[in-house]
Structure 1
């Protein structure tokens, strides 16, 4: 008996060492690039270009942040991204809830057929060119709606919301509300949503992060510089910095490259701050929401 206990203890200890070691490696892989970006944002761009900056700032300076806040394109992109994120997240969450709630009701006829059609879109779609043509034919090209309507509902988020409504809200509550004369709309707004703060926080965070970081749709559908989100502005800055590899002797271009290198890392930090600020406020709901179904039979 004691021998079995010792073996179990050794096995648990080996597993703990392996799990902790793997966790440390993963944290380091994620953390080191972040530390480098922070250090580079406070360093002399010449030292960054020469590769002398690793984990600590060298030639400490805040000139890069000054240039970021003086750059009108970055401010314009920041405002656009805030608008797209706030409006797009609200639009997506509303549509997701309106789709997930009826699909979670067992008395909806044909709900399995609807779910099969929705799941089909997770694996197959029309492709980039047909989608582009469809967006253009609908008159959405080069408008803010091109960034909101085509990707308004995420199938994964829809399934998560549907699962939450099915598993977390008792059927007896629906029956009691129906006996009191409550309709579906009143049921959703007065009963379901107040009990669904966890999943609402998860949906808001998922959609907000996706929309804030998205750039490919804007790259394809938006040609007006005034409508570009922040991520497109950052992409242009990064591409400008990469032109250094061409070895140009143009003094003006060299200065632009240096400026781009100076504001590249600081702009990344500034663009990441909104999501970092939002997360602590939804963390307790987020942890609960992502565990949906984890302990369900």
Structure 2
């Protein structure tokens, strides 16, 4: 919803500079005006047909996504962080992607961070007016003390939401790399950032509900971004999640399957290796493939910056590092 330009703005907010310009993601399609009269199956078919257009739209942005992945991975290899900033659905998707990195890739929770307008309360409930509060974005970014090694990705379907825009400006001032992710072309968000991704998804079946196609596009892009970055950082071995944190029964069983897949060892050998390495999947694989003990496996991984493939090469050709 655009702000009424005659009303008093929320303190710390930035009024929409072009309140009459309706972005494509907010456009109403007259031919869909009767969806409330459709039989359920026909309604679902319509929505599903529109959803199928999203992957193609994302595919058109793959070169720009690749440039972002390479830039982010290079900075994170130097100790940088990846930060998402958004409001509403976009903010929640950033928080979700950040939250899923530690269990999937074994990362420190501070390595990938999701900022959402209105704070944690906004993850599960709408915080009215928060997306317009540029002062909140500035404060949230300032609290992170960003450096040139960090990257901030502003996420907004319209590409003009004040919160991520302000976050982009604050991050650039701090020297961090900035990326804009929007679902419209020519967005202010991408113009404000150094790198941009604009996935054109067009009007929503439910006019203006950008939790639909736009939200799907954002989720797909964030999946691509964080997963590809983690692959580049050696957080996987082939297509195996060797850095997962086995914190429950399901994940412990998954860890056993991963070690068995990577090594070809039987269940008993896998169990012994995981037991010797306190459940650390990478270490267990190294124990089995390099025929070393658990402390040596840990030393090899440390010397290889946690990259399992490099640790295996070191063990095979150079021997373990000195204790």
TM over 0.5: no
Rg larger in structure = 1
**TM-score computed with the length of structure 2 as normaliser:** 0.24
**TM-score computed with the length of structure 1 as normaliser:** 0.26
**With CA pairs under 8 Å and 6+ residues apart, which has the higher RCO, 1 or 2?**
1
More helix as a share of residues: 1
More strand as a share of residues: 2
